[in-house]
């Protein structure tokens, strides 16, 4: 008797399917065993990510010159303009500091 079940003089289809299944499982094990010996390479990738800036805007002060009445003497007007200029320069410095804080790389 050869390797297989005989039923009424012929080899049953179940044994052929079983042999194919055994060959498939053996092939799958060989393939998986071949992949198992290689270590996994882990790489750390550093990519800059855009983040919303969380710096609060400086408060702009009210203008002294714009609050003056139309018939204010020139001396008083120039005094208010000088005060406004100092306030504008201070405000500009605060804005530049906020912009620099947001523009710095992480």
For the chain, what is the mean pLDDT? 82
- Residue 15 domain flag: yes
- Residues contacting residue 64 through CB under 8 Å, at least 6 positions apart: 80, 83, 84, 87
Comparing 52 with 21, the larger pLDDT belongs to 21
pLDDT range class, residue 1, cuts 50, 70, 90: very low
Whether residue 104 has pLDDT greater than 80: no
DSSP state of 104: S
Comparing 78 with 106, the larger pLDDT belongs to 78
- Residue 48 domain flag: no
Comparing 51 with 21, the larger pLDDT belongs to 21
How confident is the model over 30-77, as pLDDT tens digits? 887 776 666 778 889 998 877 777 888 888 888 888 888 989 899 999
Q: Are 5 and 12 in contact (CB under 8 A)?
A: yes
- Residue 47 domain flag: no
What is the CA 35 to chain-centroid distance, rounded?
32
- Residue 42 domain flag: no
pLDDT range class, residue 8, cuts 50, 70, 90: low
pLDDT of residue 12: 60
Q: How many domains does the chain have?
A: 2
Write out the residue range of the structural domain in which residue 77 sits. 65-103
């Amino acid at each position: 008797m050869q390797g297989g079940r005989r039923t009424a003089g012929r080899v049953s289809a179940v044994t052929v399917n079983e042999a194919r299944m055994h060959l498939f499982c053996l092939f799958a094990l060989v393939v998986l065993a071949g992949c198992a010996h290689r270590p996994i390479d882990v790489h750390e990738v550093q990519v800059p990510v855009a983040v919303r800036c969380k710096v609060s805007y400086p408060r702009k002060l009210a203008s002294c010159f714009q609050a003056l009445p139309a018939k204010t003497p020139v001396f008083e007007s120039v005094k208010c303009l000088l005060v406004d200029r100092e306030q504008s320069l201070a405000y500009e410095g605060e804005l530049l500091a906020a912009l620099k804080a947001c523009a710095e790389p992480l």
